[in-house]
Amino acid sequence: MNAPSGLSTQIVLIVLGAGVLHALWNAIVKHIGDGLTAFALIGFVASIAGGLILAIAGLPYRAAIPFAVGSAVIHIGYELALMNSYRLGAFNQTYPIARGTSPLVVAVGAYFLADERLPAIALAGVGVLATGLMILTTSSGRLARADLPAVGAAVLTGLAIAAYTLVDGLGVRRAHGPYSYAALLFLLQGPVFPLVAAFRRPVSSWSSPGTLSRGLAAGALSLVAYGAVLWAQTKAPLAEVAALRETSVISAALIGTLFLNERFGKRRLAAAVLVATGIVLISL
């Protein structure tokens, strides 16, 4: 299995767009407030879409199925960690930590597991990008003790992101196409939280028009965003795709400022410049 050679302009633009969509659906989850309700609605969309696409595209090759099963398990853990992150901390704090943890982990994992040898300038770009993302986590440059539970949950979320990125990157390359792999993944992970919510939440908590429409919209955005990333992972190195995807933290900072009334100070602006520099470096 040969690693893809590099990024094209088309891949860069698609992955950047996927990052924006990812930030949007995460902001919707935070705005809904009840993580279980939000992920139940997202899971409902994933189940329906996964079943329909699988009926059209068919199952992926047998070699890819264990990766899809493993990724589904990791995704469930990721969603649990993300729920706790948003319950314990602010969106503009926990989201960047979670997204900033994974690029370097993915780069190391891709080196050992996918035999990807990134050129020096791309490695520098991943490092600069990850640094910028991590700086975006605080305004003062240090974390207070009260922030530690939220930070811990966000770091666990980031490690889960790195894990499923590696598993999916390896799995989708063994499938006959990204759509069949994505469909199986969505169908496997989708039903879990709707079933849990059916027992843990009254129907009224997630069937109100406002919550229902936002949750379903988040589900649709999440499927499009991750489907685009899976496609990109068949065309470009895992570490570079992961790094580009994590530029979603810039979108998250803007969303937090414009819609969640969160401050975007000089420190965050400087970090955003680092992120943009990292994008340029890994795209060369």
Q: What gap in Å lies between CA 276 and CA 131, rounded to an integer?
A: 11
Is residue 17 one of the residues assigned to a domain?
Answer: yes
pLDDT at residue number 165: 85
pLDDT in tens, 230-240: 888 888 887 77
pLDDT in tens, 146-204: 778 888 898 899 899 889 988 998 998 898 888 899 999 999 999 999 999 988 888 77
pLDDT at residue number 283: 60
Is the per-residue pLDDT at 140 higher than 70? Answer: no
* pTM reported for the whole predicted model: 0.82
Name the residue among 252, 12, 42 with its Cα closest to residue 122: 12
Q: What gap in Å lies between CA 174 and CA 13, rounded to an integer?
A: 24
Is residue 4 one of the residues assigned to a domain?
Answer: no
Q: What gap in Å lies between CA 98 and CA 95, rounded to an integer?
A: 5
Q: What gap in Å lies between CA 9 and CA 124, rounded to an integer?
A: 20
Is residue 3 one of the residues assigned to a domain?
Answer: no
DSSP helix, strand, coil percent of the chain (3-state; round to 5):
80, 0, 20
Is residue 1 one of the residues assigned to a domain?
Answer: no
pLDDT in tens, 63-115: 999 999 999 999 999 999 999 998 988 787 788 788 777 777 776 777 777 77
pLDDT in tens, 23-61: 999 999 988 888 899 999 999 999 999 999 999 989 999
Q: Match 């400087």 to its residue by tokens.
A: 270
Give the three-class secondary structure for 225: helix
Is residue 39 one of the residues assigned to a domain?
Answer: yes
Is the per-residue pLDDT at 1 higher than 60? Answer: no
Domain range for 36 is: 9-283
Is residue 198 one of the residues assigned to a domain?
Answer: yes
pLDDT at residue number 256: 75
Give the three-class secondary structure for 33: coil
Q: Per the structure, how many domains does the chain have?
A: 1
Rounded average pLDDT over 14-23: 90
Is residue 111 one of the residues assigned to a domain?
Answer: yes
264 or 75, which is more confident: 75
pLDDT at residue number 251: 80
Q: What gap in Å lies between CA 79 and CA 19, rounded to an integer?
A: 17
Is residue 229 one of the residues assigned to a domain?
Answer: yes
129 or 168, which is more confident: 168
